[in-house]
Amino acid sequence: MTIGPQPGIMQIKPYQGGAAHIEGTQNAVKLSSNENPFGPSEDAVEAFRRTAFDLHRYPSTDHASLRQAIATTHGLEADKMICGVGSDEIISLLCQAYAGPGDEVIHTEHGFAMYRISALAAGANPVEVVERERMADVRAILAACTDKTRLVFIANPNNPTGTMIGDGEIAHLAKNLPDHVLLVLDGAYAEYVEGYDGGASLVDQRDNVVMTRTFSKLYGLGGLRVGWGYGPAHVIDVLNRIRGPFNLSQPALAAAEAAVKDLAYTAKCRLENTRLRSWMADALAEHGVSSDTSMGNFILARFASQAEAQSCDSHLLSQGLIVRSVVGYKLPNYLRITVGDESACRRVAHAVGQFKSGAL
Ligand SMILES: Cc1ncc(COP(=O)(O)O)c(C=O)c1O
């Protein structure tokens, strides 16, 4: 056959999700995908169950009810919102709509893998910009912009580093980008940061900023695949033209709507994450494993070398603990560990302590 894929596609290294099982182990704990260890709100589960009676019906095409619920909870305008199959779909739609062959899409050195994948899938060239001490560097990003740049992706907080840059820096970046560039603020972990709006107010002030958000993290609905984007009307209009009309299933829409309304549950999960994250970071530091202050629901644990990180990963696996190697994110000396429930955090701290003391 002579048929081949579009340019860029064969350069894509397929995304690797976090491992979920350990052969022969019953009580393995998955701390490799930044999921909420407490699961979703009971209201969300109940709303999901109720949809079982209507599975023969097509879902809503405009997601009006979910958009309104999100808008009410976050104090936003429902008209400037689009819902997608995870925020992954919003990232992909943005690349498809705004970047094609010859165009450039900027992402940071340790940025989320889907930016590069989605840029290549659209035929565009991903451009990696160095970070400073695992933090996005807005001056380096501005310097990397060319006539060909179309999109700049920054996750704030970032995965897998857990670091965050301030509102002032983000505003400076948005203000100084060339007119032909759209800034995408990925707020997958924004809900974990008390008082942070994920960049929503900047979206309201400007016409070159889009924010993406997800139900997969704090809301505990990764299995249902719901995300959303918030942006200027002209961008939302463009994305809606290429979005599949029935991209979200009714069970997903109903569960997400109930989840975003359950403010007490999300507040509880946020608090518990903050408490356990700081406990785990301190416990690991006591064993000689340091980390940057994380603003997400995970810790990027630092080891002396790639060999040490790999041996610790193997030891954790032998103890039934699945964490994430981040070699593919150019962080070979690190392991990313999701903040689990209290028992999982204690098991991690204990196993890392065993590893570091050589008492294996
Ligand atoms: C920074 C970041 N953005 C986006 C996503 C995608 O989330 P989802 O497609 O589940 O909404 C993730 C998932 O890990 C992430 O870490």
Determine the longest span between alpha carbons in the chain, in angstroms. Answer: 60
Mean pLDDT of 350-355: 97
CB-CB contact of 109 with 131 (8 Å): yes
Nearest CA, atom 7, ligand 1:
87
Segment 292-317 shows an average pLDDT of 97
Q: Is the CB of 88 under 6 A from ligand 1?
A: yes
Under 8 Å between Cβ of 206 and 212: no
Name the residue at shortest CA distance from atom 16 of ligand 1.
159
Decide whether any atom of ligand 1 lies within 6 Å of the 159 Cβ.
yes
Q: What's the rounded Cα separation, in Å, for the pair 273 and 191?
A: 11
**Does position 359 have pLDDT exceeding 70, yes or no?**
no
Contacts of 145 (CB under 8 A, 6+ apart): 106, 152, 177, 178, 181
User: Nearest CA to 184 among 141, 147, 226?
Assistant: 141
List pLDDT tens digits, range 135-150. Answer: 999 999 999 999 999 9
Residue 58 token pair:
């097509």
Nearest atom in ligand 1 to 189's CA: 1
Helix 113-121 × helix 86-98 angle, to 10°:
40
Beta carbon of 34 within 6 Å of any ligand 1 atom: yes
Ligand 1 centre and the CA of 26: distance in Å? Answer: 28
pLDDT (mean) for 276-301:
98
State the Cα–Cα distance between residues 40 and 37, nearest whole angstrom: 9
User: Ligand 1 centre and the CA of 35: distance in Å?
Assistant: 10
Q: In this model, does residue 360 exceed pLDDT 70?
A: no
User: 100: pLDDT confidence band, cut at 50, 70 and 90?
Assistant: very high
Ligand 1 proximity of 94 Cβ (cutoff 6 Å): no
Q: Which atom of ligand 1 is nearest to the CA of 215?
A: 11
Instruction: Decide: 316 and 344 in contact? Cβ < 8 Å.
Output: no
Q: How many degrees, rounded to 5, is the angle at CA 232 between CA 227 and CA 237?
A: 75
pLDDT tens sequence across 195-247: 999 999 999 999 999 999 999 999 999 999 999 999 999 999 999 999 999 99
CA 16 – ligand 1 centroid, Å: 13
Average pLDDT over residues 240-267: 98
Q: What is the CA radius of gyration of the chain?
A: 20
Which atom of ligand 1 has the smallest separation from the CA of 213?
11
Q: What is the pLDDT of residues 17-60, one digit of tens each?
A: 888 888 888 889 999 999 999 999 999 999 999 999 999 999 99
Q: Which atom in ligand 1 lies closest to the alpha carbon of residue 227? A: 11
Which residue has the CA at smallest separation from atom 13 of ligand 1?
188
Sign of CA dihedral 103, 108, 110, 111: negative
pLDDT of residue 223: 97
Q: Ligand 1 centre from 226 Cα, in Å?
A: 10
**Which helix (H) or strand (E) segment is 260 a member of?**
helix 250-261
Classify each residue of 220-255 as buried b or exposed e, where b means 16 or more C-beta atoms within 10 Å of its C-beta: bbbebbbbbbbbbeebbebbeeebeeebbbbbbbbb
